[in-house]
Amino acid sequence: MANIHLSPYEIILKKRTGEKLSGREIDFMVRGFNGGIIPSYQFSAFLMAVFFRGMSENEVFSLTKSMMDSGEVMDLSKLGRVTVDKHSTGGVGDKVSIVLAPLAAAGGITVPMMCGRSLGHTGGTIDKLESIKGLNTNLSKKDFFGLLKKSNIAIISQTEKIAPADKKIYALRDVTATVDSIPLIAASIMSKKLAEGADTLLLDVKTGSGAFIKDAGNSEKLALLMVKIAKSMKRKCVAIITDMNQPLGYAVGNSLEIKECIETLKDRGPEDLKSICVEFAAYMFVMGGKTKNLQSGRMLALKLLKDGSALEKLCEMIQNQGGDPDVLKNTSLLPSSKYICRLNSPKRGYLKKLNTHEIGLTAVMIGAGRKDMSSKIDPGAGIILRKKIGDFTGKGETLATIHTSDKNILKHAKERLLRSFILSKTKPDRPKLIRKIIR
């Protein structure tokens, strides 16, 4: 064995004392843990040392590469066209991919999307899509490539073969309080995205109370690091830092969000969701060489929403993947909940803040997410906000509705959700949706 003289103990100690690790040492740790040779207790200590000591850029590049190389690295160049993927660091009510992918594909961009399921307080694109009856996100690589060739779009779940080391490491981070580390998040996300093979990548880095990284300065550090990782591997990449101090749109929860996406693709969705999708599509059009500049990209995106082409593309995608396209005409075919309960405001005032992390956790509690790895999602469960930051509410006006099939949880969910709404006497500014562009 080539690495016989490397020792996990010495590598942990080196990191603990703040020394830099070589690519070989990092690769030894990742391979060893992934292959079952380095035990969890040693890898946990390594993660904690990284958490406190951080990593240099070169160390993060090595960590990303080792995690990426732990599984299959797809070669999308076989498609013979530019592919542009978009990835979000995760938020509450973040349904952008479901509107954006068909919008960009309708404009001629090939969009190979591999998405995840719900994670912590955030939802997952795959869980949302699975609320459409019959829709299959477990496609073979051959079918994935076939659909990209035929329709420019396919959204599938991450296969077991993509960055398996990340899966193992993430599960360990989840139980050792080492999730919210910038180098570990950057390497985790980028190892998967780079293994998925798109040559151009648009990153949506969320910041605020509903994001994994809540502080604007740290979100910027994360965005910069991810762009540098992509560039170190010769991929084009832009990161857009966007606000996550309130859910995007009004709906939180799987089928409720699908309904809101369909409305947005019919050009009658919420303004914030529409504008973020138009802006992101404009970047994808420029990065994929479809328009010369962002302004013509925005115009193209608006046209595709208005003339129904983006909605038609979603219809094609649903049909391609075995789903029922009738949901687009009749959204009452989507799963719904037994109970719908109003949350009324106990006083008058302006909505100043939303504890979006808590809203996400309340959504999980009422069935919209998984409480543990084995629990099943209730696709109809969720929350519809009636007020967003800056809106006025009178006493007794509805702040939100809770949708659930679990009657026993309602009282607790109402109390918890109410605590997430912070009112004030003066009108606050509405949060700026797009904070910064990192290239």
- DSSP-based three-state secondary structure for 157: strand
- 90 touches ligand URA (CB under 6 A): yes
- 360 touches ligand URA (CB under 6 A): no
Residue 349 has what DSSP assignment? E
Give bridge partners of residue 159 from the DSSP assignment: none
Is 427 a catalytic site residue? no
Output 90 or 288, the one with its CB closest to ligand URA.
Answer: 90
Is 44 a catalytic site residue? no
Q: 244 exposed, middle or buried (CB, 10 Å; 0-12, 13-18, 19+)?
A: buried
- 314 touches ligand URA (CB under 6 A): no
Is 268 a catalytic site residue? no
Output 409 or 438, the one with its CB closest to ligand URA.
Answer: 438
338 Cβ partners below 8 Å, 6+ apart?
Answer: 404, 405, 407
Nearest to residue 119, comparing CAs of 210, 196, 240?
Answer: 210
Options 173, 259, 274, 313, the catalytic residue:
173
Q: By the 8 A CB rule, do 126 and 154 touch?
A: no
Residue 321 token pair? 């993947």
CA distance 360 to 373: 17
Residue 310's Cβ-side half-sphere holds a number of Cα atoms within 13 Å equal to: 29
- 185 touches ligand URA (CB under 6 A): yes
Options 86, 87, 193, 298, the catalytic residue:
87
Q: Considering the complex, what minimum distance in angstroms separates the CB of residue 169 from ligand URA?
A: 9
Is 188 a catalytic site residue? yes
Number of residues binding to ligand URA, judged by CB under 6 A: 9
208-227 residues near ligand URA, rule: CB under 6 A: 212
Is 348 a catalytic site residue? no
Residue 354 token pair? 């939303």
State the residue for tokens 């999308």: 76
Give bridge partners of residue 111 from the DSSP assignment: 153
Distance of CA 265 to the CA centre of its chain: 19
Longest dimension (CA), the chain: 71
Q: What letter represents residue 404's amino acid?
A: T
Options 27, 94, 166, 272, the catalytic residue:
166
- 183 touches ligand URA (CB under 6 A): no
Q: Considering the complex, what minimum distance in angstroms separates the CB of residue 52 from ligand URA?
A: 17
186-205 residues near ligand URA, rule: CB under 6 A: 188-189
Stretch that binds ligand URA, among 78-86, 135-143, 180-188, 196-204 (CB under 6 A): 180-188
Residues binding ligand URA (CB under 6 A): 89-90, 170, 179, 184-185, 188-189, 212
Active site residues: 87, 166, 173, 188, 192
